Structure 1
Amino acid sequence: MPGEVFLRSERVTLRTVEPEDAELLQRARNDPDLREGLLFRSPSTRGEVEAFIEESVEGDDESQNLLICVSDEPIGAVDLFDIHRESATLAYWLLPDHHGDGYATEAVALVIDHAFDTLGLNHLVAWTIGYNGASQALLGRLGFSHEGTYREHVFRKGEHHDTEHYGILADEWTGSESILDGGSPD
């Protein structure tokens, strides 16, 4: 595992993104099943991904990008970005072979703990494309509230789609332990 361990639970480890992870990130950006949700419209070259790692991951104080690992194998990512004094935006993805096992729920819960308990943030936001019911269900399990709909906000799969926007406040968060003890897989 090339990156340093940042957070850990029973089943997942979150580690820093390193230059050696360019292949995984490129595969995710170009995977037809992931590309739509990640909002990439054109193929990403290795050079573009390496530049992203250098500029956005290594040199950005307003984001924290972590890889989700199971048994030391990276299977996805969870990111906090646009981190400001009171708020940040949350994003996450898993490789398709790892959907439905609860790894995203566990990883995102760890990052929420970190955002509220360590960074002292008060509000997290996340959004999904309207047809991504699995991601909306994950946010619901974690206690996020639906805060609004941006009508026809993105163009995907040949048509315009709404995006659904969610948020959670620090005093609404019950902690990862309560979620993971009784949580269900995503």
Structure 2
Amino acid sequence: MRGVEPEDWEAFHRFDDNTDEMRRADRVHPPRSAAGQREWAQKQALKEPVDDRMMLAVESLADGALAGMMTTSEIDHRAGRFSYGVAIGTGHKGRGYATEAVRLLLNFMFGERRFHKCEASVWAFNDASIALHRKLGFTEEGRLRDHEFFAGRHHDVVLFGMTAAEFAARHPYPSEI
């Protein structure tokens, strides 16, 4: 993972051209011009993380291509909770990018920022994301029925959670510093 760079605009523009990718990541947004996408990427590249809210690029180590993105949100320092979202482009799916990106983020947020719990919301029809969260050790904590509207109908959202202790038990921190 790395910060968003201004030259990432083209890859993000390709992601936004694919309605299915947008929907899996978040929701479908109106089309953005190339100039608008360049301006957005420039702003993201210059934006400092505030209150542990950040947007990161997921990059392929093999060729440096932008594979996807990750964001943190719903930051609650009092309770020690945060949420995140991860989206991987179609050409990079099934190669472990999401798994590695989530592990890196949780290692940082739990091990460096002292958060206690991570929460994730997944569209109930997104079998790959549900499987990812289960594989990583998240616990399914509930389901919000008919919670989100897109593609002409309402959809359920599955809620997942993992505590820092649960993460550390499955993914130990490095023993040598």
Pick the TM interval, shorter chain: 0.7 to 0.9
Shift of residue 177 of structure 1?
4.8
Match of residue 166, structure 1, among 160, 170, 176: 160
Q: Distance in 2 between matches of 1:74 and 1:55?
A: 15
Instruction: Say whether the 8 Å CA contact 1:30–1:44 is kept in structure 2.
Output: no
Structure 1 pair 45/150, CA: closer, same or farther in 2 (3 Å)? farther
Q: Distance in 2 between matches of 1:163 and 1:53?
A: 32
Q: Distance in 2 between matches of 1:128 and 1:61?
A: 25
Structure 2, gaps ≥5 residues long: 173-177
Structure 1 pair 69/120, CA: closer, same or farther in 2 (3 Å)? same
Structure 1 pair 143/53, CA: closer, same or farther in 2 (3 Å)? farther
TM-score of the aligned structures, taking structure 1 as reference length: 0.79
Partner of 2:149: 155
Q: Distance in 2 between matches of 1:52 and 1:167?
A: 30
Partner of 1:42: 30
Instruction: Say whether the 8 Å CA contact 1:28–1:35 is kept in structure 2.
Output: yes
Q: Distance in 2 between matches of 1:47 and 1:175?
A: 46
> Aligned pairs, how many?
165
- Percent identity over paired residues: 28
Structure 1 residues 21-42: Cα deviation after superposition (integer angstroms, max 9, x where no partner): 2222222223122021221242
Shift of residue 59 of structure 1?
4.5
The answer to whether residue 55 in structure 2 is matched with residue 61 in structure 1 is no
Paired residue type of 1:144: F
The answer to whether residue 19 in structure 2 is matched with residue 32 in structure 1 is yes
Structure 1 pair 57/131, CA: closer, same or farther in 2 (3 Å)? farther
Match of residue 114, structure 2, among 112, 120, 141: 120
Structure 1 residues 86-128: Cα deviation after superposition (integer angstroms, max 9, x where no partner): 1211100111121112121111111110110011111111111
Shift of residue 80 of structure 1?
1.5
The answer to whether residue 74 in structure 2 is matched with residue 82 in structure 1 is yes
TM-score of the aligned structures, taking structure 2 as reference length: 0.82
Shift of residue 48 of structure 1?
4.4
Secondary structure of the 2:100 match is helix
Structure 1, gaps ≥5 residues long: 1-13, 179-186
Secondary structure of the 2:137 match is coil
Instruction: Say whether the 8 Å CA contact 1:29–1:43 is kept in structure 2.
Output: yes
